Amino acid sequence: MLTSFADSHLFGESYGAGTPWVLALHGWRRDHRDFEAVLRHSGIDAIALDLPGFGSAAAPEEVWGSSDYAEAVAAVLDEMSARVVVLGHSFGGRVAVHLAASHPDQIAGLVLTGAPLHRPPGGGAKPLLRFRVARGLAARGLIGRDRLEALRQRYGSDDYRAASGVMRDILVRTLAEDYGAAIAEVRCPVELVWGDDDMAAPLATAEQLQRELPHAHLVVCRGAGHLTPLTAPGELRAAMERLKT
């Protein structure tokens, strides 16, 4: 059952009967229900949120970056234990890193899974040449917005095609962000739980994070893919328990 938090600005689900010490943040185009297998009947007191723009939560009125999401989520920390473990999957991991960097006294640890915090070597796949040319023509006013949008729908990613309005702008902004400064500010222990065949955030990302974070521990889940809250709930529960203070 959905519950409101932080003066009804955020919604999600509570698990357990005690003071929550785990905050779960889902990925892009997902919602709090991804954590059912991880948290229900687990004995872990937790809150799983719908991030603004997903599930039950209204979209932001402005174009937010991941740090803005972190500040919105931080309001929930006051309703939780003094030290919180944050479980961040995919986009939620980007938010979690900013939360740990900006609120170090309240974050006991991070569990990051499938979080695309580094670009793949070479910067990832580039848009097709036809779309890149069209984008340049549109910037010069040589083709119309409708034509450019048609090409975006044809050649854009699934996430891009599914997004609209402010959420599309948020997607573009967060994909362009550099998370290096936030990662450097993380001082708490970090558990990295990763699928060895994750195509959205390759295992090399986790291995780089393990080198960068002074207190990081990596668990590789064979055949788990990107949606580890659904495919590796036991490994995520174990990671949270290791960070419990």
Dump pLDDT digits (tens) for 163-204: 779 999 999 899 999 999 999 999 999 999 999 999 999 999
Query: Could you give the domains of the chain?
Result: 3-118+179-243 (3.40.50.1820), 122-171 (no CATH)
Number of DSSP helices (H) and strands (E) in the chain, helices first: 11, 8
Percent of the chain clearing pLDDT 90 (strictly above): 73
Beta strands in 188-232 (DSSP E): 190-195, 216-221
Q: What is the pLDDT of residue 172?
A: 87
- 155 pLDDT higher than 60: no
Q: Which two tokens stand for residue 124?
A: 């990832």
Q: Which two tokens stand for residue 156?
A: 């854009």
Is 236 exposed, middle or buried (CB count within 10 Å of its CB: 0-12, 13-18, 19+)? buried
Alpha carbon 195 to its chain centroid, in Å, reads 16
pLDDT band at 4 (very low <50, low <70, confident <90, very high): confident
Beta strand 190-195 with 107-113 is: parallel
pTM for the model = 0.87
